[in-house]
Each structure stands twice: as C-alpha cells, then as structure tokens.
Chains A and B, each alone.
Chain A
Amino acid sequence: MKYINKSFVIKLILFLFFLFVSNFFLLKPGLWLYQDAAGWSKNLVEAYHAINEHLVIFGPGYSNYYLSYDKGILVFLGLVHPIYSFLLIFLFGAESSQTIFIISGYVLAFFSFYLFSGIFFKDNNIRYFLSLIYTFNPLSFSTQGAVYLLAGIPLYMYSFYKCVNDKKSISLKWLLLNIVSAYLMISYVRFALINFVILIVYLYFLLRDISFQKFKRLIVLFLIYLLVFLPFAISIFFHLTEKSETAVFYTQLFSNLLPRFEMYQAFNLLQSFNLKLYSSNLWILIGLAFFAYFLYLSVQIQKKHYSVFVVLNMFLLLLGISLFSFGRIFPAELHHHVINLFPFISNGSEWALFITLIPFILLLGYISQFNKIHVYLFSLIFVTVSIIPLLNTQDFQLKKYSLHNIPRAYDEYFIEPYIGISKPTYYIPDMCWRARYMDEADTPTQCINKGIKYSTIALSNPRVLSGDDYYFSIFLQKKADIDNLRITHNLKNIIIPDDLVPAKGPGPLINSKEVAEVKQINNILKNNENLNLKSNVNFNHYFYKDMNNYDFLLYSPGSFSFIDEYTNLLTNAVSIDRVPVFASPDLKSRTAALQQAGIKYKFDPLNPTVYYIMVDITNLDDDIFLQLNQTFSENWRLKLIDKNIYESNKCKTKYTFYKITNNSSCDISLNIYGINILKNLLERSVIDADQFKGNILGNLWLIKSSDLKKYHNENKLYLVLVYEKQLYYTISLIISISTVLFIILMITIQEIFIKTKKHDKY
C-alpha cells in the first residue's frame, strides 16, 4: 500500500491511457490479419499444431509442407508464442485472444524495461518515462503484434543481474524468470540474433568487474542453461556439423540485394517496420526533429561525465544505424561479408533498427542526470506523437476482419477445426492469395490457410526451405501439367481460386498478369480427364478420380522412370498403374531384378519421423525398393525390428488399402515422440540398404535379395524408418523440461521453507 500515492495514481492512469490508445484499433471486433499477424491460430487445433511443430525436428512446419523438412535451429526457437497463444485461445477464443495477446505483450515489455532500467538508474520517475518510450514507440507497433518479443532482453538482463548479484546465493525465482526470458529472447530467429548482439554489450558492462565468488555463480548458471536449452544446443550442433542451410539459406539468396534507404531515414526516430504508418514526409520530418532534440540533449553531457556506459551505448546505437544504412554508406562488396555476420539484415535492413532501441533509451536516461525536465518532455511528446497514427482505425493496415464474415468455402476448407491426416494439395498460385472479398471489405490480404486440412506440396519460402527443396517449389509454381506430382508428392487435390485479385498492400505479390495466368491454368485443368471438379463461389477444388486407390507416401515401386533433370519431370505424364518412381539414370544398373512388394505401415500423423513397416515379400530372389516421399536426408535410418514390436503398436484406425500402390496404412499414437524405439535402435543393426534420392526430393532404399533371405520372417520383413535426430532431440527435450520442473519444485520447497522459518520466528 505504501506505493499508492498521488504520483503512482497519475503514472498508472497515464500508462493505461497510452495502453488503451495504442491498442484502440484492436478493440474492434475481428482478427487483425496484417502480415505475420495473419498467422494467428483460428482455433485450438491450429494452435496445438503450432506447439507440436516445436516438438518434432523433422515435420511439415508452420505452413504444413507435405514433404516435411528438417527445421534445424528453427525447431526450438519460438516455443513461447504457441504455448501462450494456445492458452489464450482456449480461454478467450480466437478473436479476443489476439487482442489480449498483444496488449499483454505491451504490459510485459513495459514492466521488463522498468525493472531493467533499475540496474542503471535510481530515479523511478525517469525509469517510468523511459519504459513508456520503450513500450509505445513505432518500432514496437511494427512487430506485427509480437510486442512481447521486446521484453526478452530487458527481462533477461534484469533477472541475470539479480541471479549474479543477490547476496546469499542464486535466487531460484530469478533463475526461473531468467530462463523464461531467455526463451523469449530466442522466440524469433531474427530477434534471437539481434538480441545476441545487444546482449554481448550489456553482459560485458555488467560483468567487467566481477568477483571470483560471482564468477562461480556464472558457471552454475551456464550449466543450468546447458540443461534447459539442450534442445537448442543440439539443434545448433547439428546445424553446424551438417552445414545445414535451414534458416540461413535466405541470407545467401538475398545477399545480392542491397537495400538502400535515404541516409536521413537512419535518424528518423518515428520509423516503423512493416507498419507503414509514418512514411509521409511530415512524419519523417517529425522523426528527424526528435533525433535533433536527442542530439541537443546529448550535447549537454560534459566531458567529465563520460563513462564506459556512455561509450557502449553510443557504439551500439551507431552499429544499428550503420547496419540499417549499410547500402547507403559502404561499398556493395562489403555487404556480402557483413550479411554473414549479421544475417538478420538480409532482405530487410530495417531489422537493424531494433538494435538501436535500448541504447537510445538508456542514453536518454543518462542525459536525465543533467536535464531531467527535458527528458520528461521528450518522452511524453514522443510517445504521444507516435501513437497518433494508431488512432486512425480506418487505416488499411489497422483494419480487422471478423472470422464470421469469411466466405463459407474458405471457412470450410481452411478454418474449421480438422483432426486427421492432411491431404496433399497443389495450390495455384500459392496457398495464400488475395480474394475478391478482401478487396470488397478493403482489408489487408488475409493468409488464413495453414494447410491443416489441405497441406501444400510446394513451399516457396526460403526462410524455412533451402536448397533443392526450395528451388523445386519455385519450379512448381503455376504449372498445368501436374499428373506426375501424384507420384512424387502423392498429390490428390488441386485448389485454384476463382476470386483471385491483384495484390494490394503487403502479401503475395500477384499482379494482373498473373491473375490472367491462373485463369488460363484453370481452363487447362478443366480439360484434364484424370480430374474431377468440385467448385464453389470462391475457388475450384480439383481432385484425382482415383485418389482413393493410391498412396505414394510410402510404397514399394514396381518400375523406374529415369530423368536427369527435375525440370523434365512434368513433360511426359507417366502412368501410375505400374507404381513408378522417378530416379537418376545412374540407378539403371541397380534395377535389373526388382519386385513390387506389398507394404503395410503405421505412423503418427503428428510425428512424421517414425514409420513402422511390414513388407510382404513375394519373391526372395528379387530386390525390393522402398520409397518414402518425405524430404531426403541421410538422417533417415532403416532398421530391422521384431514382429512383436511391429504388432505391439496398435492402430487407432483401420488399415486403409490402396489398390494401385498395393499398400495400406493406419494411424498410431507414439508415446513421448517415439522414444520407446530408442532401445530397439541401439540393439539391432541397420539393414544394409543403400539410400538414394527418389522422386526428386524423396528417399529411396534398395533392400537386396540377400538381405531379404537373411532377415525375412515367414516371407515378411519388419522394419522401422526413423529420423534419427528426432530421438536425440526428444531426449534433450525431456532433460530440458525436467530441469525446469525441478527448478519449480525447488522454488516451492524454498518458499515453504522461508514461510515456515518466518512463522517460527513469531
């Protein structure tokens, strides 16, 4: 109660006022579907899928890519967001949860910075005003709803400071907060890297005079981090040892693009990222005037007041400015080297602005020692001015759209909760497009389809897919001769919009020429005899007439079709009746004697890293090929198992038989993500099967007749296909979660102990 005085009430009212005003547009009904904010889950199933994506190292990813991919370092990043959003959707539903999510991000960012600033400044009023700037400024408005990301650094630094500097020992409460904030810091790959750059500077500042006693605490902290972030460490280890391109591929792809801004934009303090609310000349001038004001205040610092703190913040601020305006100041040749050091600026040097935020505010706080009133004034005017554009709820970017108004067909296909195996689908032009109803409602493009029901067979996002997978996805864009994709991608459905309109604002860059192309492809598909059409007022849904008779996910090929370049894949349609596989001509000599075996397999639709397989051998003298249409990787292991292990995994569903491919499958639930097969994998040897690339991107194994004779069990072969890395990742997850649970348990015991001790005293 001692805190509740007049000053406290005024500050609380002011904070709530800014919070309300800056989120005014969010209070309207509907979802804010602007750019990345469009990824907000529309129901609990989607939210659950988003969490699950962080538990499997190899999976379909956020956009539900049918062939799945190794997510590398991306797998453990961003775990906080889906868990928190799942909780909110469960409690408040899709629409309200988004508003609460964003507002709570503001509150968290404010309090985090308030605590953090306490390390450097004693004056609570100054801390309050600095926290206002940190929370309510154009950069925080522009993180597409993910304001909570800004809380990472301040919260981490403060809890770290408390852990290291507490008098007696490391406080478990602060340790837990430190772990949570570290999760926040790595919640987004670009922010993770930006945060790392900032963190080094402030850690140096805090630890530069550390005593030996505290150094020991650092070692303890490091060991705890190692346990808690073991999944992250493992994903980085694999990323480095395998030289994986995941998450860094876009850096190579965009390294030739050198974004150039007018140099004065680097000093424009009213500069937002993604939300283009401040792009007019007037706002630029106001933004520059704020910087001039800041410079004026900086000139007030006397020589005698300079310190390491000032120097570090100045250089961090200048680093952000330099990276932002790199293309303007430095030669293009240097850009390639810099982009490797700071990959977050590739394809968008505006990201560098997030480096400038904390040092700018801390310098302002430092200036307050000499000119407090000016700093108050600066803060209040800056926050007030920067909020003004957010009050225009009619602004195109701030418009919301209610899920209830989404046309029936979109709702049925892409929004209604769906539980089951997703259906491989070819989207033309892409799985996200601007539909006519978005133009009529004058809202930003809504990317509402997450592919939960109809997963995409092509994903042209270089931030997640890399190398051949990406280039092949690009190759697949807007093609009409697609019958062979049944074999390579198990293709069953094609969805092509009738209501496609050219792009408006951010989103897929479709122009009127491409709209005409899509219509042309639609006309070609109408004449494809293999397809049936089910159309609605919004789009055409084509599906293969015999789609229930084939399953090319996991099958034993009966014939080979040799192609040397993937660009030749679609030129001649191959009959699926002979159950073919596309392979390199190098394999010709290995395919002399092959049999098409019957296959039965079981798998967990949520975990595409384990397949239990029973191969029905008809002829022990001929080789068998196995094709798995999931992204090729040498991490796949084909191992022998006992018949009883195969049978002990009970099917949840009945086997579905596919006549053409002569295979059948059922769903199972893997406990703890298949960890139970680890023992088996360690015990039995790998079958001597050669692995090749089959169907362009998939995996093809050759099981030789000699092995069939050696290992068969009543003319049957029991196998398991495992993505090996998943097992290590699962173990690391278990260690991580156990450590966090152990810390929570210890906190509870510590709290009980303290309370008991206090009680005894009295």
Chain B
Amino acid sequence: MINIRNKKLVKYSRLIFLWLLIPIILFLFWLFSTIFLTSNYSFTVIVNGYNKSVFETSELKPLYKGDKAIAEFRAMENNLGIVAVRFHTFKRINSDSVIFRIKEKNQNIWYYENKYLTNQFQWDELFTFGFPVINNSKDKIYNIEIESVSGSSGDAVAISKYPPVLVAQYQYPREKLTSNFFELLNFISIKIYYSFSDLNVFISSMVYLLPLIFYLIIIKYFKGLFQPPNYYLVYIFFLSLLIYIFLMNQNNGFIELLLFGAWFFLNIIYKFESRITFFIALIFMLTVILNLVLGFSDIADRASIWVYYFLIAGAIFVIFDLKRKKTKTIDLKEFIFKFLNKK
C-alpha cells in the first residue's frame, strides 16, 4: 500500500516538475529576458523611437560648418532626460564638433545647449545627448537642433538612414518605483507597452520564448527526452532565425548567443555531422549575395553574421566528428531529405 502511494507521489512529483516547475522557470526566463535583455537601456528608462520624418534635414546629408539638423517630436511620457540621435560618420573619425540644443516648442530660449566632439560618434550608432530631466514632459512638443561647428568636406557627420534616428528616453526615479508597489506595476505595464511597440523587442521576445517552446515540444512528442522523431525543433529554430534576420533592424548579442546555443543543442540531440552546418553556412552565404543584389544590404549584413556563426559552429563540430568517427551521425543527404520531409 505504502509502495503504491510512494509510486503515485513520485509520478505526481515528476509531472509537477516536468509540466509545471520547468515551464514556469522557462516562462520567467522569457519574461525577464524580454524586460532586461531586449533593450540596451536601464530598467528604469522608458524608450521611445522616432523615424527619420521627425528631422527636417534629409538623411545622410553631411553637416558642414553652420548647417543644422532640426527635429521636432512629441514626448510620450514624463521625465524626459536623454535624446539619442543616430549619426552616420561615413566610416571615418571626424574632427568636427556639434552643438546640441533642446527646447520646448514656442519657447524663446533653449532649455539646454552643449558642444560635443564628433570623434566620439560611432558609425550608424545612437549618440546620447543628456540634459537635466524634464519632469512634466508628457505630451509636450520639443525642438532639437544639432549644429556643425567646423564640418567640411571629408570631415563631417550626417543623420543616419537607419531607424530609429531619434530616441527619447524617460528616466523614472528609482526611489519612486521602489517605494510604491502600484507605481512599480504601472511603470512595468508602461515599459512592456513601449517595449512591445518596438518590432525589435517583439521579435527578441519571441526568440527568448524558444527554450519554453522547445521544451514543451520535447516533452509532448517524445517518449524519451532526447530521441526526436521529427524536425519540429529544427523548423522552429530556422523560423526564428529567419524572422530575426529578415524582420529585425538591429542586432542583439543575447539573441544571437541564444540562437547559437540552440543550434548546438539541436546538433547534440540530433547528432548532425558538421557538414550540415557548413551547408547551412553556404545557404546563408547565397542569401547574403541575393540580398546584396536586391539592394537589401542590412539583411545581407545580418545574414553574413550567421554565415560566420555557422562556420564557427561547423569548425567546432568537426572536432566532435573527429572524436566520433565511428558513431552513427545524420549526414547531409539524410538531413536534407528529412528536412524536406521526403523519404
């Protein structure tokens, strides 16, 4: 009697562990990764991006001495403290300086003004202009001006073409959030709202959901944990990867690391031979070429990063193959047939 009870207990414990505990952990991983890892900004910062239409200046037009890039935007929240602008440096170190100014629309005097050396600007990266936090900024319209001090031909920066070209950052006081639970909940909901309104964050979040999806598929369909009868996981992996490459417009190191790790995981459970990884690198290489021909250089650039990752992975798998020369592995032909679901 006691034995039967114990067996039932073990069975329920196992079920709770497999179906509740681990999924909760993976769910929490998704939640925290989405909040903390999808963004380059601090937790207490809410970020809102704007596309090139906020600027009067056309993209990639070099700012020569006295030229101004003027933008106008509506602040979505209170506590505006930083405006970041994406600059194009023409792949060089420029010696010009720019004067950054900001004021509320229709005000006569500038709220803040400072000079910055352009040699700090990174090619097509956001450069942050900080200023004293404006507490009641919500729904107000602000003007910014970026003026070149000594820009000349061959020594000037421009506004980048890559969105978002302007990012407004709202810095919430940490003390306020920690002292009031409801304030914190309200802040998190706003943060999630703004985060998910960004396509990059949304896609990143989906990638962070991969471990949970992988896990659920594994325990749902497999009798043994590591005996996959089909290529569902591989399909999901490639789908995520393609979404990341084709739909996101910025790179996220954590996601790349996660996807890279996922490919390792798949190789271990499916016992792929290394040639498969090289073959995928080749396919991505062709994708790079095709996108360059079609003029999608951003996609080509992101796809080429995955050529690199697959080559690195392939080289590591060669070492595995050297060690398991006599072990049965899935070869390239078999992989292609199974992937295409052909017998």
State the A residues within 8 Å of B (CB): 257-258, 260, 262-264, 266-267, 281, 284-285, 288-289, 291-292, 295-296, 298-299, 301-304, 306-308, 310-311, 314-315, 318, 321-322, 325, 328-329, 331, 503, 509, 511-513
- Closest CB-CB distance, B269 to chain A, in whole Å? 18
A260→B251 CA distance, assembly (Å): 14
Complex interface: stretch among B70-78, B196-204, B219-227, B310-318 = B310-318
Which of A267, A301, A303, A331 is B304 in contact with, Cβ under 8 Å? A267
Residue of A with least CB distance to B329: A303
- With an 8 A cutoff between CB atoms, is B301 at the interface? yes
- With an 8 A cutoff between CB atoms, is B206 at the interface? no
Q: Contact: A260 with B123, CB < 8 Å?
A: yes
* 13 A-B residue pairs with CB within 8 Å: A262-B300, A264-B301, A266-B304, A281-B292, A284-B292, A292-B289, A299-B332, A303-B329, A306-B318, A310-B318, A314-B315, A318-B311, A321-B308
- Interface 1/0s, chain B 271-310, versus A by CB < 8 A? 0011100110110011011001100010011111101100
- Closest CB-CB distance, B211 to chain A, in whole Å? 23
Supposing A311-B322, A314-B315, A321-B308 touch, asked if A292 and B301 sit within 8 A by C-beta, the answer is no
Q: Contact: A328 with B305, CB < 8 Å?
A: yes
Q: Contact: A331 with B292, CB < 8 Å?
A: no
- With an 8 A cutoff between CB atoms, is B253 at the interface? yes
- Closest CB-CB distance, B93 to chain A, in whole Å? 6
Supposing A303-B275, A303-B325 touch, asked if A311 and B292 sit within 8 A by C-beta, the answer is no
Q: Which of B81-129 contact A (CB under 8 A)?
A: 91, 93, 122-123
Q: Contact: B319 with A311, CB < 8 Å?
A: yes
A262→B91 CA distance, assembly (Å): 11
Supposing A257-B93, A303-B274 touch, asked if A262 and B297 sit within 8 A by C-beta, the answer is yes
Q: Contact: B278 with A329, CB < 8 Å?
A: no
- Closest CB-CB distance, B329 to chain A, in whole Å? 7
Complex interface: stretch among B15-23, B27-35, B52-60, B148-156 = B148-156
- With an 8 A cutoff between CB atoms, is B67 at the interface? no
- Closest CB-CB distance, B324 to chain A, in whole Å? 9
Which of B93, B285, B315 is A292 in contact with, Cβ under 8 Å? B285
- With an 8 A cutoff between CB atoms, is B334 at the interface? no
Which of A289, A292, A299 is B275 in contact with, Cβ under 8 Å? A299
- Interface 1/0s, chain B 183-214, versus A by CB < 8 A? 00000000000000000000000000000000
Q: Contact: B123 with A295, CB < 8 Å?
A: no
Residue of A with least CB distance to B277: A299
Supposing A258-B122, A262-B297, A264-B288 touch, asked if A329 and B279 sit within 8 A by C-beta, the answer is no
- With an 8 A cutoff between CB atoms, is B331 at the interface? yes
Beyond contacts A264-B307, A285-B289, A292-B282: 12 other A-B pairs, Cβ-Cβ < 8 A, are A262-B297, A262-B300, A264-B288, A264-B292, A288-B292, A292-B286, A302-B275, A303-B331, A304-B325, A328-B305, A511-B152, A513-B152
The interface residues of chain B lying within 8 Å CB-to-CB of A267 are: 285, 288, 304, 307
Q: Contact: B155 with A511, CB < 8 Å?
A: yes
The interface residues of chain B lying within 8 Å CB-to-CB of A331 are: 253
Q: Which of B218-274 contact A (CB under 8 A)?
A: 253, 273-274
- Closest CB-CB distance, A655 to chain B, in whole Å? 49
A503→B152 CA distance, assembly (Å): 13
The interface residues of chain A lying within 8 Å CB-to-CB of B315 are: 311, 314-315, 318
A285→B273 CA distance, assembly (Å): 30
Q: Contact: A266 with B285, CB < 8 Å?
A: no
Supposing A301-B275, A318-B315 touch, asked if A329 and B308 sit within 8 A by C-beta, the answer is yes
The interface residues of chain A lying within 8 Å CB-to-CB of B286 are: 292
A686→B230 CA distance, assembly (Å): 85
A296→B279 CA distance, assembly (Å): 7
Which of B122, B150, B301 is A263 in contact with, Cβ under 8 Å? B301
A304→B329 CA distance, assembly (Å): 12
A298→B311 CA distance, assembly (Å): 11
Q: Contact: B301 with A299, CB < 8 Å?
A: no
Q: Contact: A262 with B301, CB < 8 Å?
A: yes
Residue of B with least CB distance to A288: B289
Residue of A with least CB distance to B153: A511
A291→B281 CA distance, assembly (Å): 11
Q: Contact: B285 with A295, CB < 8 Å?
A: yes
The interface residues of chain A lying within 8 Å CB-to-CB of B279 are: 299
Q: Contact: B301 with A511, CB < 8 Å?
A: no
Q: Contact: B301 with A512, CB < 8 Å?
A: no
A509→B318 CA distance, assembly (Å): 47
- Closest CB-CB distance, B105 to chain A, in whole Å? 35
Q: Contact: A325 with B308, CB < 8 Å?
A: yes
- Interface 1/0s, chain B 121-161, versus A by CB < 8 A? 01100000000000000000000000000101111000000
The interface residues of chain A lying within 8 Å CB-to-CB of B302 are: 263
A130→B325 CA distance, assembly (Å): 29
A258→B91 CA distance, assembly (Å): 10
Q: Contact: A299 with B278, CB < 8 Å?
A: yes
- Closest CB-CB distance, B297 to chain A, in whole Å? 7
A511→B150 CA distance, assembly (Å): 12
The interface residues of chain A lying within 8 Å CB-to-CB of B122 are: 258, 260
A306→B91 CA distance, assembly (Å): 40
A257→B91 CA distance, assembly (Å): 11
Q: Contact: B300 with A264, CB < 8 Å?
A: yes
Residue of A with least CB distance to B285: A292
Q: Which 9 A-B pairs have the closest CB atoms?
A: A264-B304, A263-B304, A295-B282, A314-B315, A292-B285, A303-B321, A263-B305, A262-B301, A303-B273
Q: Contact: B152 with A291, CB < 8 Å?
A: no
- Closest CB-CB distance, B23 to chain A, in whole Å? 32
Residue of A with least CB distance to B253: A331
A292→B285 CA distance, assembly (Å): 6
- Closest CB-CB distance, A263 to chain B, in whole Å? 4
The interface residues of chain A lying within 8 Å CB-to-CB of B293 are: 285
Which of B253, B285, B318, B329 is A311 in contact with, Cβ under 8 Å? B318
- Closest CB-CB distance, A346 to chain B, in whole Å? 13
The interface residues of chain B lying within 8 Å CB-to-CB of A329 are: 305, 308
- Closest CB-CB distance, A220 to chain B, in whole Å? 34
The interface residues of chain A lying within 8 Å CB-to-CB of B282 are: 292, 295-296, 299
The interface residues of chain A lying within 8 Å CB-to-CB of B155 are: 511
The interface residues of chain B lying within 8 Å CB-to-CB of A289 are: 289
A512→B314 CA distance, assembly (Å): 51
The interface residues of chain B lying within 8 Å CB-to-CB of A308 are: 322
Which of A285, A301, A315, A318 is B292 in contact with, Cβ under 8 Å? A285
- Closest CB-CB distance, B56 to chain A, in whole Å? 27
- Closest CB-CB distance, B331 to chain A, in whole Å? 7
- Closest CB-CB distance, B166 to chain A, in whole Å? 22
The interface residues of chain B lying within 8 Å CB-to-CB of A511 are: 152-155
The interface residues of chain B lying within 8 Å CB-to-CB of A315 are: 315
Q: Contact: B152 with A314, CB < 8 Å?
A: no
Supposing A288-B285, A295-B278 touch, asked if A306 and B321 sit within 8 A by C-beta, the answer is yes
A283→B278 CA distance, assembly (Å): 24
- Closest CB-CB distance, B94 to chain A, in whole Å? 11
A289→B285 CA distance, assembly (Å): 8
- Closest CB-CB distance, A295 to chain B, in whole Å? 4
A321→B307 CA distance, assembly (Å): 11
Residue among B91, B150, B285, B312 with the most chain A CB within 10 A? B285
Q: Contact: A263 with B308, CB < 8 Å?
A: yes
Residue of A with least CB distance to B324: A303
A706→B155 CA distance, assembly (Å): 60
Q: Contact: A262 with B304, CB < 8 Å?
A: yes
- Closest CB-CB distance, B89 to chain A, in whole Å? 10
A295→B288 CA distance, assembly (Å): 13
- Closest CB-CB distance, A691 to chain B, in whole Å? 38
A301→B273 CA distance, assembly (Å): 11
- Closest CB-CB distance, B157 to chain A, in whole Å? 15
Which of B281, B297, B300 is A295 in contact with, Cβ under 8 Å? B281
The interface residues of chain B lying within 8 Å CB-to-CB of A292 are: 282, 285-286, 289
A331→B278 CA distance, assembly (Å): 26
The interface residues of chain B lying within 8 Å CB-to-CB of A288 are: 285, 288-289, 292
A653→B32 CA distance, assembly (Å): 83
A288→B286 CA distance, assembly (Å): 9
- Closest CB-CB distance, A748 to chain B, in whole Å? 48
